[in-house]
Amino acid sequence: RGNESLLDQEGRELVQQLLELGQEHLFAHWPAPGDSDDRKMALVNQLKQLDANYPGGLQKYVTNAKRLLEESKSGKNAFEGYVPSVPEGEKLDFGSKEFREFEDIGVEASREAAFVLVAGGLGERLGYSGIKIALPTDLARTACFLKVYIESILALQAKAGGNAQLPLAIMTSGDTHERTLKLLEKENYFGMQPAQVTLLKQEKVACLSDSEAHLALDKDDPFAVQTKPHGHGDVHSLLYSSGLLKRWVQAGVKWVAFFQDTNALVFRGLPAALGVSVRYGYDMNSLAVPRKAKEAIGGIAALKKPDGKTLTINVEYNLLDPLLRASGWADGDVNDDSGYSPYPGNINQLLLKAESYLPALEATQGVIAEFVNPKYKDDTRTAFKSSTRLECMMQDFPHGLPSDAKIGFTVINQVWAAYSPVKNSPPDAKAKAAAGSPSHSATTGELDIYQTNCRCLQMLGAQIDGPEQREFNGLQVDLWPRISWTPFFAVSFADLEAKVNGPNIHISKDSTLVIEEGDVEIKSLDLDGALVVPKTGGAKVTVDGLKVQNAGWKWRALKPDKPMTEEQYIRGFLVCRQAQQYYPEEGTKEKAGAGQQNQAALTH
Ligand code: UGB
């Protein structure tokens, strides 16, 4: 009371609205006018911001929160009464004839695709202080994730020919926005036109302190509301509220591909999955992996609802087992004869058909499915251990589609081929591996790139020796020859097939091959050591009859008592560059720093 005069019209209306929503506690402690006025204004300004950031404003947020908290309190299972079955979809062997056919269709369709990278998360779980997309994908080529993604899109764009510019949106957050922008600017957008790239910044949402959906005030500052991230599902509302999806569709975009921040192999599977979307006309298609029963990733399931309609959607692993048991499968979530669960593993790499995505966003404003996950103090399920908030996940999008929408999946049967994200810190990765799960570590994220490249060349008839069994950060891993190339060299099997003559290639097990130039043909090569094909600035490179023998580059396990960088720590190794050959030799200057790195490496 008495403080009304401090507020403008908008502020007064918002406060009034919040009072009607039972949020008196936000203002009850306010002293008389003249005392702490600037702090009161700071709170009202923050509330205005929170109101503006959420579709439907704080009124809608609190109303949604009350409903979801009520459901949570009563222990309602989101999938109660639903009967799961295995949805329709395609399972492909990486590199098979069928895979390549789908890939060809997908590469062709990508001329009408737009790409969305969700990169609002910080690397806390990984034990990395920077933004994850700035991490090198591998220490042979040392290109960062963002560079690999952009190069892949540009390589697809080059195939589209003409003036095509495939658009890229990057969802950032307060934690990652500035650093993402700086990285792009510093690297000249890695070759993209700045206008091709749109950054969409997600904002945090208000925290809730109890089951009545009271907004939580900051413990140290009674003039501020606590906030937390709303989740990667924000990407849908941002594509809607920014008008970006609509503009893309007007410009002819037919497909929208979503991917996560640290999976360097995503473009190995995405074109084939796009081919599957095209052939079957999928409104939504999830690139997926074989999933071990009970593995801690969601399973994609077709759920028959009590009204007879079917919803194909990701079911989180903790819900899948009880759902199966409740529907008559007494053993719950178990492997079938293939040794895997029949429900494919969700990896959040999604392909949406723009024609159905846009109307779904317009109908829902992009707020598709929220949930709340409070940690209760006791069985009364009223008070929380700490504040909670509404969250949303991008894979829950099927809730926004009509019930006759075509939703499918594309599994790549080889787990190493299209999904090896960098998510877990060394101790967590070790624990996961010990429990028989993929470690999803920086170690495997890098080594799977080499494995995939080696196996691609093997499929084309090359003789690739190895792998060697090694231990890094306590993980038992296969170290294949370190083969890493720019996507301009090969973004598809068809590219690779056209550029290498497999049967005339031999690479020994401790070798490294780095290809930075796109226009390279390998007619014959015998490599035992390290070979770098640097950027030539456009001149075609033909490797023919080349025999390389040198001391090469060594992947050395770290010694814990020696100095190391964060990038090395999370992998458990560093690279000792002992000797290499450049071919053609003019490119050598670009690698002048290699010697310095070598000095550090020698201390290990
Ligand atoms: N992200 C954002 O952009 N904003 C956010 O608010 C949060 C995240 P995590 P998560 O790959 O196995 C997902 O944290 O959420 C970005 C699926 O939900 O790495 O634990 C973030 O930057 C799960 O079903 O993953 O689990 C990153 O790029 C399963 O598929 C992405 O969202 C799991 O990934 C994912 O964030 C998996």
Whole-model pTM: value is 0.94
CA 402–ligand 1 middle distance (angstroms): 25
Ligand 1 pocket member 400 (CB < 6 A)? no
The reported pLDDT for the residue numbered 115 is 98
The reported pLDDT for the residue numbered 397 is 93
Q: Which residue has the higher pLDDT, 91 or 308?
A: 91
Structure confidence at residue 603 as a pLDDT band (50, 70, 90): low
In the block, tokens 């000792």 appear at 576
Return the percentage of the chain with pLDDT > 70, whole number: 97
39-76 in b/e form (b: 16+ CB < 10 A) is ebbebbebbbebbebbeebbeebbebbbebbeebeeee
pLDDT > 80? residue 596: no
The reported pLDDT for the residue numbered 75 is 79
Q: Average pLDDT, whole number, for the chain?
A: 93
The reported pLDDT for the residue numbered 595 is 47
pLDDT > 80? residue 599: no
CA 59–ligand 1 middle distance (angstroms): 28
Q: Which residue has the higher pLDDT, 72 or 442?
A: 442
Structure confidence at residue 437 as a pLDDT band (50, 70, 90): confident
The reported pLDDT for the residue numbered 591 is 53
Q: For residues 206 and 414, what is the distance between their CA atoms, to the nearest angstrom?
A: 42
Stretch 101-127: mean pLDDT: 95
- 400 DSSP assignment: G
The reported pLDDT for the residue numbered 122 is 84
Stretch 325-334: mean pLDDT: 90
- Please name which of 430, 508, 432 lies closest in space to residue 464, comparing C-alpha atoms: 508
Structure confidence at residue 379 as a pLDDT band (50, 70, 90): confident
- Locate the ligand 1 atom nearest the alpha carbon of residue 298 and give its number: 24
pLDDT > 70? residue 586: no
Most distant pair of Cα atoms in the chain: their distance: 88
CA 260–ligand 1 middle distance (angstroms): 7
Phi–psi pair at 189, nearest 5 degrees: 55, 25
Ligand 1 pocket member 454 (CB < 6 A)? no
Q: Which residue has the higher pLDDT, 588 or 121?
A: 121
Q: For residues 46 and 19, what is the distance between their CA atoms, to the nearest angstrom?
A: 16
The reported pLDDT for the residue numbered 592 is 43
- CA torsion, ordered 80, 81, 86, 88, to nearest 10 deg: -100
Q: How many helices (H) and strands (E) does the chain have?
A: 17, 31
Structure confidence at residue 334 as a pLDDT band (50, 70, 90): very high
The reported pLDDT for the residue numbered 587 is 47
**Three-class SS of residue 471?**
strand
Stretch 150-163: mean pLDDT: 93
Q: Whose CA is nearest to atom 3 of ligand 1?
A: 120
pLDDT > 60? residue 46: yes
Q: Which residue has the higher pLDDT, 72 or 264?
A: 264
- Locate the ligand 1 atom nearest the alpha carbon of residue 229 and give its number: 6
Q: Where are the alpha helices (DSSP H) in 470-604?
A: 493-499, 566-571, 594-602
Pocket residue to mutate for ligand 1, from 287, 348, 350, most atoms within 8 A of Cβ: 348
Stretch 551-580: mean pLDDT: 96
Ligand 1 pocket member 229 (CB < 6 A)? yes
Q: Whose CA is nearest to atom 14 of ligand 1?
A: 121
The reported pLDDT for the residue numbered 319 is 87
The reported pLDDT for the residue numbered 185 is 98
Could you read off the pLDDT of 12-43 as tens digits, one per residue?
A: 999 999 999 999 999 999 999 999 999 999 99
CA 76–ligand 1 middle distance (angstroms): 25
Q: Whose CA is nearest to atom 9 of ligand 1?
A: 121
CA 298–ligand 1 middle distance (angstroms): 12
Could you read off the pLDDT of 168-212 as tens digits, one per residue?
A: 999 999 999 999 999 999 999 999 999 999 999 999 999 999 999
Ligand 1 pocket member 287 (CB < 6 A)? no
Could you read off the pLDDT of 465-511 as tens digits, one per residue?
A: 999 999 999 999 999 999 999 999 999 999 999 999 999 999 999 99
271 and 95 Cβ atoms separated by less than 8 Å: no
- Please name which of 382, 371, 1, 26 lies closest in space to residue 218, comparing C-alpha atoms: 26
In total, the chain counts a number of residues equal to 604
Return the percentage of the chain with pLDDT > 90, whole number: 83
Ligand 1 pocket member 529 (CB < 6 A)? no
Complex prediction ipTM: 0.97
The reported pLDDT for the residue numbered 294 is 84
pLDDT > 50? residue 574: yes
Stretch 583-603: mean pLDDT: 59
The reported pLDDT for the residue numbered 83 is 93
pLDDT > 70? residue 266: yes
Ligand 1 pocket member 177 (CB < 6 A)? no
Stretch 245-268: mean pLDDT: 98
